[in-house]
Structure 1
Amino acid sequence: MSSKITLTSPIVSVEWLHEHSHANNLVILDGTINKVFDITLEQIPKARFFDIKKKFSDTSNPFPSAFPSVEQFQKEARALGINKDSVIVVYDDKGIYSSARVWWLFKAFGFQNVAVLNGGFPAWKKANYNTALMQNFDGVVGDFEAHLQPGYMQFFDDIQKASKNKTHNIIDARSAGRFNCTEPEPREGLRMGTIPNSVNLPYTDLLENGLLKSKKDLAKTFYMVANKSDNIIFSCGSGLTACVLALGAEISGYKNISVYDGSWTEWGTLTTGDMKMPSTWTKDELLAYILIYVSNADLNQSRTETQYILNRVDKNVYKRVTDQFEKDSDYQSIQNIIEAVKTHDYYRNDLADLFADIKLMAFADGEYDVMEQMVYMQLKKILKNG
């Protein structure tokens, strides 16, 4: 007869999970992000799908995987049969990625008996443990209770204050390339950049062969960016891998830790930032800048031209680029375009699409005046020879 178990660490091995898999109060959650229910997919036996995107996020929020309400989290957790005395082990199919977000969500709602499976599903399979086909949970509704804990999650206004007043160490879990603006953001239209007064610690620095490093090695890693007495906010792209840092920090003995829910996706969208480095512009920013440049050739960007540009790029991109364009002289505008085009081979591969966009925008108001034609020809010469 199986018995109940307890947790002594926020991380457990696949060996531990296999040994305790028949415990009465064990709940295994598959917290893989961007996964949909599919009966042909493999999972750890008895696992229940924790749908971050649709069930455990505020889907009315424009930003991805946004923090849910107490009522929503409690309702969906109960629907998965989670009880007040449950012991939860969560995994994902990448090793340690979105599973840490699930772990942190439970902690933010006052539940401590939760741990991340070290190495996730890849480690489980590598150990040659049995798998099962994915199935819906149709068991008894649980009695889980959610109690929001202050300070676990930080939001835009909190980060503005923390960044400006330097009250917290803001640690960014994105790759060094993204943090240093040498590689683009994977989310289309999202500008490159960093939160002011933040430092970089890629979440991958905490992992080795898909497993979390030893407590000693984790402590060394965190020692380089923060003291244990510091107030710390972890950020990333959209609030997922920041939780990997939170997991490593907790194991390393850090207490004053929190996660920026919207992370760079929110910050990069809601702030204009500094666009004075054209080499860091996204393709959408470059397109918007060129179209704005052409539409202002006659010193009068019409409403229809504006609407055309807004049909091609996000309104936040448009606002950000417009703010920068208004600061630049005509000479600076040309230099910006030349530098930005050099960064994106995309346009070199298919400049015809870009020129078509320029012409369509210029014709949007029914006119293609002499000044717009001159600017178009000038740009065509520059872009083809640049």
Structure 2
Amino acid sequence: MSTHITLKSPLVSVEWLHDNIDANNLIILDGTINKSFDISLEQIPNTRLFDIKKKFSDTSNDFPSAFPSEEQFQKEARILGINNNSAIVVYDDKGIYSSARVWWLFKAFGFNNVAVLNGGFPAWKKAGYPTGLMQHYDGAEGDFVTDLQSGYMKFFDDIQQASKNETYKIIDARSAGRFNCTEPEPRVGLRMGTIPNSVNLPFTNLLENGQLKSKKELAKEFYMVAEKDDDIIFSCGSGITACVLALGAEISGYKNISVYDGSWTEYGTLTTGNMEQPKTWTKDELLAYILMYVSNSDLNESRKEQQYILSRVDKVVYTRVKEQFKKDSDYTSIQNIIEAVEAHDYYRNDLADLFADIKLMAFADGDYDPMEQMIYSHLKKILKDG
């Protein structure tokens, strides 16, 4: 067996890893996201923990898993003993999920002798291969040197230009429900929506039992959304599963591919969206709108009522909701509220808290007048009976 290996594919099987595990330049990384060191946890022997969140992300950034600097990536890679001549195989505990992000990061920093373990740790265990307990790497530092490659990562300004001019094909890896705004975003406070001119290819479409599908099956998935010569930007929720699409695309022979680092978390936060589509409102936007509806029932939103609303939602949210509220008729306002409440599944969750907020706001100016009482009762009946 060769003691020095060069990876010929961005994907390796557990059988291949088992046969080559003693190669002297092999480094195995666990790229499971949000994983903390725990000596009781099982791992593939001699694995080193690649901490995406704390070590290999720009933690000063407002958005999760943000692209690190060259200096940070090089320093942390060296601490893990990674050398310029290393061969890296990365896995995660889900099959293929965050491991693809690790693979893409190395490629973005100019290192190509890296591959994802197909099926990850679950496939390794299923095959009956040996495991060990998690351990810290305490060996020598590596000599890894970054060589940042342009175009691998796209950022907010890039995506704004690409979406407006359609210079790129933007492909979103989120579920169809999130892409089509029929299910809320899992991140609290993040509005539903899509990047303009984007198309949907859920990353789960590329997987079967936690493993990447065959090259032929992958090609079929990508054929439906992009041509081989398209310039492609992959997006998702926060830049993690977009890299699964990048992995599948590279295996399928696509060359002009990139990943939007901030993805929908950044884009949905930095853009106002379309307030004319209530099903895409965040819960904060909905709360602001309902409180405005009640406070304006007497055609006068008092200063104390305004202060109460601003104590519950951000000023930026208040301002954009206020602009929409001014445009809407009384009938439109009720329809908007019903549609937004249904989108957030308030019926089974926290409708009671919503009504408590409404009543507290109405009392904010010390005068719960008959009109506010009537509006409150009217809303309660409509929403509970809806």
In structure 1, the residue corresponding to 2:219 is in which secondary structure?
helix
Q: Which amino acid aligns with 1:56?
A: F
Q: What's the TM-score once normalised by structure 2's chain length? A: 0.94
Q: How does 1:255-334 map to 2 (within 5 A)?
A: 255-302=255-302, 304-313=304-313, 317-334=317-334
Paired position in structure 2 for 1:121:
121
How many Å separate the matches in 2 of 1:91 and 1:349?
Answer: 36
Q: How does 1:359-370 map to 2 (within 5 A)?
A: 359-370=359-370
Cα shift readout 1:347-368 (whole Å, capped 9, x = no counterpart): 4665432221112223334444
From the superposition, tell whether residues 316 and 52 of structure 1 become closer, same or farther in structure 2 (CA, over 3 Å).
Answer: farther
How many Å separate the matches in 1 of 2:61 and 2:300?
Answer: 36
From the superposition, tell whether residues 184 and 129 of structure 1 become closer, same or farther in structure 2 (CA, over 3 Å).
Answer: same
Establish whether residue 82 from structure 1 lines up as the match of residue 82 from structure 2: yes
In structure 2, the residue corresponding to 1:27 is in which secondary structure?
strand
Paired position in structure 1 for 2:203:
203
Cα shift readout 1:190-216 (whole Å, capped 9, x = no counterpart): 111111111111111111121111112
How many Å separate the matches in 1 of 2:120 and 2:305?
Answer: 51
From the superposition, tell whether residues 234 and 342 of structure 1 become closer, same or farther in structure 2 (CA, over 3 Å).
Answer: closer
From the superposition, tell whether residues 305 and 85 of structure 1 become closer, same or farther in structure 2 (CA, over 3 Å).
Answer: farther
Q: How does 1:181-200 map to 2 (within 5 A)?
A: 181-200=181-200
Please, what is the CA RMSD of the aligned residues? 2.1
Establish whether residue 97 from structure 1 lines up as the match of residue 90 from structure 2: no
Establish whether residue 232 from structure 1 lines up as the match of residue 212 from structure 2: no
How many Å separate the matches in 2 of 1:296 and 1:226?
Answer: 49
- Note the C-alpha offset of 1:149: 0.8
Identity, % of aligned positions: 81
The unaligned stretches of length 5 or more in structure 2 are none
Bigger shift: residues 327-336 or 203-212? 327-336
How many Å separate the matches in 2 of 1:202 and 1:370?
Answer: 50
In structure 2, the residue corresponding to 1:29 is in which secondary structure?
strand
From the superposition, tell whether residues 10 and 319 of structure 1 become closer, same or farther in structure 2 (CA, over 3 Å).
Answer: farther
How many Å separate the matches in 2 of 1:327 and 1:160?
Answer: 27
Paired position in structure 2 for 1:149:
149
- Note the C-alpha offset of 1:322: 3.4
Bigger shift: residues 374-383 or 89-98? 374-383
The unaligned stretches of length 5 or more in structure 1 are none
From the superposition, tell whether residues 302 and 17 of structure 1 become closer, same or farther in structure 2 (CA, over 3 Å).
Answer: farther
Bigger shift: residues 182-191 or 345-354? 345-354
Q: What's the TM-score once normalised by structure 1's chain length? A: 0.94
- Note the C-alpha offset of 1:260: 0.4
Contact residue 43 and residue 131 of structure 1 kept, 8 A: yes
In structure 1, the residue corresponding to 2:116 is in which secondary structure?
strand
From the superposition, tell whether residues 231 and 145 of structure 1 become closer, same or farther in structure 2 (CA, over 3 Å).
Answer: same
Cα shift readout 1:177-198 (whole Å, capped 9, x = no counterpart): 1111111111112111111111
How many Å separate the matches in 2 of 1:158 and 1:93?
Answer: 32
Contact residue 169 and residue 231 of structure 1 kept, 8 A: yes
How many Å separate the matches in 1 of 2:100 and 2:41?
Answer: 21
Q: Which amino acid aligns with 1:265?
A: T
In structure 1, the residue corresponding to 2:63 is in which secondary structure?
coil
How many Å separate the matches in 2 of 1:98 and 1:288?
Answer: 36
In structure 1, the residue corresponding to 2:46 is in which secondary structure?
coil
How many Å separate the matches in 2 of 1:29 and 1:42?
Answer: 13
How many Å separate the matches in 2 of 1:314 and 1:40?
Answer: 43
How many Å separate the matches in 2 of 1:30 and 1:295?
Answer: 53
Q: Which amino acid aligns with 2:29?
A: L
Paired position in structure 1 for 2:52:
52
How many Å separate the matches in 1 of 2:173 and 2:288?
Answer: 29
In structure 2, the residue corresponding to 1:346 is in which secondary structure?
coil
Contact residue 57 and residue 67 of structure 1 kept, 8 A: yes
How many Å separate the matches in 2 of 1:68 and 1:293?
Answer: 44
Contact residue 174 and residue 237 of structure 1 kept, 8 A: yes
Paired position in structure 2 for 1:158:
158
Paired position in structure 1 for 2:140:
140
Q: Which amino acid aligns with 1:120?
A: G
From the superposition, tell whether residues 60 and 301 of structure 1 become closer, same or farther in structure 2 (CA, over 3 Å).
Answer: farther
Q: Which amino acid aligns with 2:235?
A: S
Contact residue 270 and residue 316 of structure 1 kept, 8 A: no
How many Å separate the matches in 1 of 2:280 and 2:75?
Answer: 43
How many Å separate the matches in 2 of 1:55 and 1:320?
Answer: 37
Contact residue 308 and residue 364 of structure 2 kept, 8 A: yes
- Note the C-alpha offset of 1:135: 1.5
How many Å separate the matches in 2 of 1:326 and 1:252?
Answer: 50
Paired position in structure 2 for 1:110:
110
